[in-house]
Amino acid sequence: MPLSIRDTLQLNSGRHIPLLGFGTWKLKDGAQVKEAVATALKVGYRHIDTASIYDNERGVGQAIRDSGLPRSEVFVTTKIWTDDIRKGRSGVIEACHDSLERLGLSQVDLLLLHWPIVGKDREAWKALEQLYHEGKARSIGVSNYLPHHLDALIQPGVSVLPMVNQIEFHPYLLQPALAAACRKRGIARQAWSPLMQGHINEVPEIVEIAKQHGKTPAQIVLHWDLQHQVVTIPRSSTPKHIAENAALFDFELSPADIAVLDQLDRRQRFGPDPDHFDF
Ligand SMILES: NC(=O)c1ccc[n+]([C@@H]2O[C@H](COP(=O)([O-])OP(=O)(O)OC[C@H]3O[C@@H](n4cnc5c(N)ncnc54)[C@H](OP(=O)(O)O)[C@@H]3O)[C@@H](O)[C@H]2O)c1
């Protein structure tokens, strides 16, 4: 049971990732992302998720430095964009170096291939393995990989297994076959768009459970992630929401609550389908 904002999940590498993280997609570089990350760190988040395509790595790095927290206390994730994956091994290595430069860090805690690029994934993964062995990335993983993408990647010759698969995950999209494929290989799942991109308050069953617990719908769904041992990375630019989304550790969902949430799956995506995207 998640008991504290400092709770972590052990990855298949033996390293630990904080179960609660802070998402930064759409937060603009400069004041907006700096203020949001600063607020998040102040209320106790110790895990920040960015990506080169978010174009805010400079602000994220600055906010972490400004917080005065030791580097070792903040878990930082970034991701390699599709254009760089398509360039092959050297493109991935260069993209990682560029991200580190913008973040002002000598290593990230987690480096992900942002989307599967069929035919290029294995070469890109070799580059991630190199970056992992060089210590530029303390853990490596993938994002938006479906079971068939994992099968194609994890072939003889792969010396390091992905540690994480960051996927769209919320009560309307459970992807049970993908969960099983990750579990089989000891790959941790990380939930993106855990708050259904802000539509969480529109689901009557979630609103009802929230009322019963005296919590908000966002808190119910984020707690449900944690009880499922799915790392979750809600985003917010609103200080009240940033704090609310971290105040998750003074209640428990009952097995009956969890069963209600587990049955809401509609296979509904708010983001692109990993088998059909055009970027
Ligand atoms: N790997 C990938 O391909 C991928 C794709 C998408 C996202 N991600 C990562 O996952 C993170 C989270 O996903 P997301 O940004 O798509 O969406 P999200 O976290 O599901 O939802 C963010 C939206 O929810 C609202 N919100 C936040 N807290 C709330 C609360 N307590 N009550 C009501 N509304 C609330 C926010 O508005 P306010 O700002 O007003 O609070 C914002 O509009 C991203 O930021 C990014 O780091 C990764």
Residue 79: pLDDT above 90?
A: yes
pLDDT surpasses 80 at 263: yes
Q: Is residue 206 part of a domain?
A: yes
Per-residue pLDDT at 140 exceeds 80: yes
Q: Let me know if residue 25 belongs to a domain.
A: yes
**Would residue 2 count as lying in a domain?**
no
Mutational pocket test of ligand 1: of 236, 237, 240, 268, the residue with most ligand atoms within 8 Å of the beta carbon: 236
Determine the distance separating the centroid of ligand 1 and the alpha carbon of 236, expressed in angstroms. 6
1 within a domain of the structure (yes/no): no
Q: What share of the chain is helix, strand, coil (3-state, %, to 5)?
A: 45, 15, 40
For residue 99, the CA-to-ligand 1 centroid distance in Å is 22
Using one digit for the tens of pLDDT, what is the confidence trace for 90-125?
999 999 999 999 999 999 999 999 999 999 999 999
Does any ligand 1 atom lie closer than 6 A to the CB of residue 237?
Answer: yes
pLDDT category of residue 28 using cuts at 50, 70 and 90: very high
Let me know if residue 273 belongs to a domain.
no
Q: Which amino acid is at 217?
A: P
Is the CB of 244 inside a 6 Å radius of any atom of ligand 1? yes
Tell me the CATH number at 108: 3.20.20.100
Q: What is the pLDDT of residues 219-238, one digit of tens each?
A: 999 999 999 999 999 999 99
Instruction: Output the pLDDT for position 160.
Output: 97
Nearest-CA residue for ligand 1 atom 13 is 193
pLDDT at 120: 97
Return the exposure string of 68-85: e unless at least 16 CB atoms fall within 10 Å of the residue's CB, then b. eeeeeebbbbbbbbbebb
Pairing of strands 16-18, 8-10: antiparallel
**Does position 269 have pLDDT exceeding 80, yes or no?**
yes
Whether the predicted pLDDT of 1 surpasses 80: no
The whole-model pTM stands at: 0.98
Predicted confidence at residue 3, as pLDDT, reads 80
Q: Could you tell which of 193, 207, 275 is best to mutate to test the pocket of ligand 1, judged by most ligand atoms within 8 Å of the CB?
A: 193
Count how many domains the chain has. 1
Q: Whose alpha carbon is nearest atom 9 of ligand 1?
A: 192
Domain of 192 in residue numbering reads as 8-262
Strands 22-23 vs 47-49: parallel, antiparallel or unpaired: parallel
Q: Which of 143, 235, 269 for a ligand 1 pocket mutation test, highest count of atoms within 8 Å of Cβ?
A: 235
pLDDT given at position 164: 98
The residues assigned a catalytic role are: 54
Query: 24 C-alpha to center of ligand 1: Å?
Result: 8
Neighbours of 170 (CB within 10 A): 27
User: 268 lies in a domain?
Assistant: no
| Amino acid letter for position 158 | V
190 within ligand 1 shell (Cβ under 6 A): no
pLDDT at 119: 96
Q: Is the pLDDT reported for residue 2 higher than 80?
A: no
The pLDDT > 70 percentage for the chain reads 100
Any atom of ligand 1 within 6 Å of the Cβ of 234 = yes
Angle at 175 between CA 111 and CA 216, to 5 degrees: 85
Cβ of 143 less than 6 Å from ligand 1: yes
In a domain, 277, yes or no: no
CA distances from 86 to 61, 89, 92, 96, 271 (A): 26, 9, 9, 14, 21
Let me know if residue 258 belongs to a domain: yes
Q: Is residue 138 pLDDT above 80, yes or no?
A: yes
- pLDDT, tens digit, 9 for 90 and up, residues 159-212: 999 999 999 999 999 999 999 999 999 999 999 999 999 999 999 999 999 999
**pLDDT band per the 50, 70, 90 thresholds, residue 157:** confident
Which tokens in the block code for residue 38? 């600063």
Contact 52, 81 (CB under 8 A): yes
The average pLDDT across 65-79 equals 98
